[in-house]
Amino acid sequence: MRLKTLLALLFIGYCFIATAQEGNTIRELVFEGNKKTKTSFLEKLIKVKVGHKIDSTKLDADVLKLRRLDGIVHATYEIENTLAGAKVTYEVNENFTIIPNLNLWTVNDQEVAYRIGLTDFNFLGRNISIGGFYQNNGFNSYGLSFRAPYLFTNKIGLELNHLNWSSREPLFFENGSAQYKYTNKSFEALGLYELNFNNNFKVGLNYFSETYNYLEGQTNPRVPRSLKIDKWLVKLNYEFNNVVYDYYHLSGIKNQVFLQFVTSTNEFQEDFVIAWNDFFYYKRIGKKGNWANRFRFGVASNEDSPFAPFSVDNNLNIRGVGNIIDRGTASLVLNTEYRQTLIEKGWFILQGNAFVDAGSWRNPGGDFSDFWDVDNVRVYPGVGLRFIHKRIYNAIFRIDYGYGITEGASRGIVFGIGQYF
């Protein structure tokens, strides 16, 4: 009889605890593991509050949001139920977020170019990104950036950017090309708005001055040897993000829409509109595999001009193709790759990948049938390696080798920081 009574009491107690897990009132919220990130900042971001009932849906959403912060690499939660109420503990693992940047590459097949910089992605412990860089590729360039997505509220922020950029840029004509020194000096201010967990908006203005100075190559009577254009750019970005972050592994989908209107103070170049959409799909394959995909479609005003806004380039869309091999007024690109963890020892991860990058573009003044023109289509399979530090934000050094299999293709090695997409 006593045994039956004991079993009945245990069953009742189990049912009480299971019910309390979802319905008990939160009496205390605790954050552990956040040495740099301010607790007050984290409390402002989460949905769960003291006095609320336990809601596992909100707790799961909070953990996913914390994992997306630049300063946090991983987060979990625990619930401790008592008769007085529930204690919720968020356990976070922080990234090291003061990141130096050093890149080396060659230009003109002989000159060594470099970029050095420093960025704090969790400035003041409030997920503020502030940084800058200096670059020398035969010309001097620098950039400064400030981004605070939760500066004013838990939904409204600000982004400021200044760029003084110089580079050697090709302009393409019907029968050849020319090399110009291109300079861009810009000032940008953007308002950031987080509608909800999955949907974010960015809107703002960019004032920039572009200068082109002829260096060498073919000339064209339609294109001056020296040109300066002052422009205003109105920008609207929208992002839907439903990606789940588990350290360096990703799963889910993300979609980004970019809309820009550019107006010029110079009669040489007319006002134009440019828009593109990036769709991302990530899938976990077992414990060590990750399949990643990016599909981009972009279109701009179709002027017959050598200053077309979309460029085909190693570092932007097709690995191994070369540095700015052509330009167009529309772009169609698919990148797909399989990432496999080869070694994982503590903080260090070695990841291998096999990829295929394929793309095409519409010629300036052309039509969409240009996408299927054999001279425009590029297909580049390849392989690469990723050297990853698990505890440092975006500490992924990548090296890829792409080999073109379409007509007139090249091959090449591409270095970079962070995953390609």
CATH number of 346's domain: 2.40.160.50
The angle subtended at Cα 337 by Cα 336 and Cα 338, nearest 5°, is: 140
Predicted local confidence at residue 106, as pLDDT: 63
- The whole-number average pLDDT for the span 292-315 is 91
The tokens describing 19, both together, are 């019910």
pLDDT at residue 383 greater than cutoff 70: yes
Q: Where among 94, 129, 160 does a domain terminate? A: 94
Question: What would the DSSP string read from start to end of 45-91?
Answer: H-S--TTSBP-HHHHHHHHHHHHHSTTEEEEEEEEEEETTEEEEEEE
CATH number of 49's domain: 3.10.20.310
- The whole-number average pLDDT for the span 35-62 is 94
Same domain, 185 and 212: yes
pLDDT bin (cut points 50, 70, 90) of residue 6 is: low
Residue 385, strand partner residues: 352, 399
Backbone angles phi, psi at 382, to 5 degrees: 180, 180
Same domain, 27 and 54: yes
Same domain, 31 and 79: yes
Name the amino acid, one letter, at 96.
F
Q: Count how many Cα atoms sit within 13 Å of the Cα of residue 406 in the half-sphere of its side chain.
A: 19
DSSP annotation of 392 reads B
- The whole-number average pLDDT for the span 125-131 is 97
Q: How many CB atoms lie within 10 A of CB 83?
A: 7
Helix (H, G, I), strand (E, B) or coil at 379: strand
Same domain, 164 and 280: yes
Tens of pLDDT, residue by residue over 48-58, are 999 999 999 99
Same domain, 183 and 330: yes
Predicted local confidence at residue 101, as pLDDT: 84
Total of domains in the chain: 2
- The whole-number average pLDDT for the span 185-201 is 96
pLDDT bin (cut points 50, 70, 90) of residue 306 is: confident
Strands (E), 140-247: 140-148, 156-173, 176-194, 199-217, 226-246
For residue 207, give its domain range. 98-417
**pTM, full prediction:** 0.84
Same domain, 36 and 23: yes
Question: What would the DSSP string read from start to end of 285-296?
Answer: ETTTEEEEEEEE
Same domain, 245 and 300: yes
Same domain, 54 and 165: no
Q: Where among 78, 94, 110 does a domain terminate? A: 94
Same domain, 52 and 177: no
Q: Where among 61, 94, 127 does a domain terminate? A: 94
Same domain, 233 and 189: yes
Tens of pLDDT, residue by residue over 258-297, are 999 999 877 667 889 999 999 999 999 999 999 999 999 9
Same domain, 228 and 272: yes
Same domain, 77 and 116: no
